[in-house]
Structure 1
Amino acid sequence: MTEFVHDYYCRRLGFVTGLSNCAGKIWIFWDHNFRVELLRDEVQLLHVRCISGLFGAPFVFTAVYARCSRSERRVLWNSFRDIFETIGDTPWISGGDFNSILLESERNRSVSDRRLDMAEFGAMVSDCELSDAGFSGASSCYTWESPSGLLERLDRILYNSAWLDLLPITQVTHLSRTRSDHAPLLVSSAASSSRPPASFRFQHMWIRHATFRQIVEQVWDFPCAQTGMHRLHTKLRRLKQKLQWWNLNVFGDVFKNKERAEAAILEAEHIYDLDRSPENRANLKKATAELTLMLNIEEDFWKQKAACRWATDGERNNKFFHSLVKKKRCVNRIHSISHGDLVLTSAQEIKDSGVDFFSKLLTDDMPSMLPVDESLFSAPQRDFSSVSTRSSVEEIKDAVFGICRDSASGPDGYSSLFYQHCWDLIQCDVCEAV
């Protein structure tokens, strides 16, 4: 494209300057707040580095306009893999028309077989360690409509884990397809906002600590005058307070503990290299065991946070679990909420709307209820005597151990792993409560 054409569109759109790819199909414009460096120019993509004082670090952006044929898109997927090899820890975001879908649910009114196409696109996304940013603001997920009425989500935003470190609040909005057969994508990003203090949650990594069971036993053996469910509730509440203190003062910070273990093993290796005495060999083995324990603890931490139950034991990939956690935080964040005829977007407005809704819900006078037809609740004539029979210890134990250890915690913050790991200490009170 000539400089005249660039200048013309910059003036029309209100930007300082811009550039296009070699095919003239992809355009990028920016204002005086940015400095943009061209890194890669191809028929299906335009890859640039962006530097701005508005961001905490430089990032790279890959604009995409994929071809229609699968063979040509394979060239694009391989280009993405080449870019990934050069990215390192640089924040990376990519967007545009990928001319492909990731899921069968991302299309409608089509019967063609797209499984190979989806597999190749998904393989590229996985190989490049990218995540789909999702979308909001539209009645459907489709971003493209053909003249025949075929609907597909061909346009999307992808980013890597480093992008979420830079801008963890990233929202993609599908705008209206008024002027085009494609929906424009509006990307809004912000740094992390303050989060309220987290409620208590039993951490699976705690059971690896040598003093964990001692803490549970001390709290559980402390006298309690209550009985049944009240007794179990009281002991769990006491243990919660003790574990919170113990986690802060004894268990310590997971990542600092790992750093200390890594430093200790380096020092032990250095000493052993200088003097290969039995004592130094034992110290090295001890340091190695401590580091292995810290790595297992860190893996437990990220795996529980990611709520990933399908990864098999032994597949240590903390980077993968970490990326899942950051993606969940971004997806679970409420960016906007409907309040009457208004759409609220600011965090304070959303909070006030929630307080207002539940205040009215819980304080307004309840309407009078209609008379209940008791015949609807009549039970057939059967022997229900077994329903009132007290459950045996074995039945209760089978029920507790039948729950997956990675299941989500209950309202009190304790997961099934706690009951399974400490069963010999707490079984009497649990059975009495049941």
Structure 2
Amino acid sequence: MENITVELVRQCLGNKFKSFYYLPAVGTRGGILLAWDATVVQLSNPHTTTNTLTVMVKPVEGPEWWITGVYVPQGDREKIEFLQEIVEVRELLAGPWLLVGDFNLLANPEDKNNAAINRRMMARFRSKLNQLELKEIHLNGRKFTWSNERERPTLEKIDHIFCTNSWEEDHASSFLAALGSAISDHCPLLLDLDEDFRFGKRFRFKAFWTKAEGFFDTVTEAWNPIPSVGNPFIVLDNKLRVTAKQLQSWSDRWIGNVKIQIFVALEIIARLDVAMDSRHDEDINTIQHARHWTRKNMILTLNHNDRIITGQEELTEVVDNFYGDLFGHALARAHCLDLDKLEPPSKQLEHLERPFLAQEVERVVKAMPLDKAPRPDGFTGRFYATCWHIIRDDFMRAMDMFHRDDMRGLGAINKP
């Protein structure tokens, strides 16, 4: 894709991602996009080479660092040129550095499921990584990141994330995981820079608490003593944190046996998951076989004028020309509509810009799914719906500040 627009980025990533840098693709290959949410981080100082895009990352909280996105072509000559590129890029940067992307290179022999490995190229790659003092961030949940999706597939790990020691020290809680690869032969990688490894200690709001004796008294005693002065987002964050601690303490005292039962149930589920993993290898061939038949539905070649057409661009051109000749082409318009003279009816939309009303916010809160995935702080929709009469005033102060487009402190209520 040669041209990327704001509309396309927001459609793919969400409305928060209004700013971005990109390196255009060449045909159907390559291309690098780095987009960001300005309320969380700022990217600046872009620098591009043939196969890389580098920017400085400036988080709202935390030290600055550099990130380089890469796409490496398939040819050996281009790969060798790329290895020199990243050396030259590093010479321009000072400080922590993250190197990410589709390298089309193996870093270790175990990164491929067969022995057809270009060991000379792998040695070149490892030599440059050592020269740059880069280490690979461990990928959790997946051994390979690419498949040719054939009946007997070739599997490779060619998507990598490397970092310097200084970057790793600044992000000691980072966690790299693989996501599902339903729409691509590559699996997406998700790098969480602040993963919470304190399993079992993180607060989670329990649905049955609202029916237990003493629940509302505990919430009221935790919420009301904290003064509602200062930044509304910070106040809301402080009250939620104190309430979480008080609820956890109350639960430990009065509902402790339920926690033990939950742990037993979770242990049983975990053991069942381990048993399911043993079936994974048996199911892989079935899954890959299904993908193989899916790919058979694609048109790979066409016979046109006694010539075999291959390649997506040529196929597209031949098909377009065929149906263009069959159905004809649109003629230039002799007339057009002047919409201004049609005087379409206008809408009065001033009400969309007025401040939020407590009644409409309450309707939205109580219409939310009660027990779906909790917020980062562990509270579910059930807490907000059942305790609205306690938290309403502080919540509306935060909503008023949000309406004024003042986002200072908003990040406090979006982190665990």
Task: Normalising by structure 1, report the TM-score.
Answer: 0.42
Higher Rg of the two aligned structures:
1
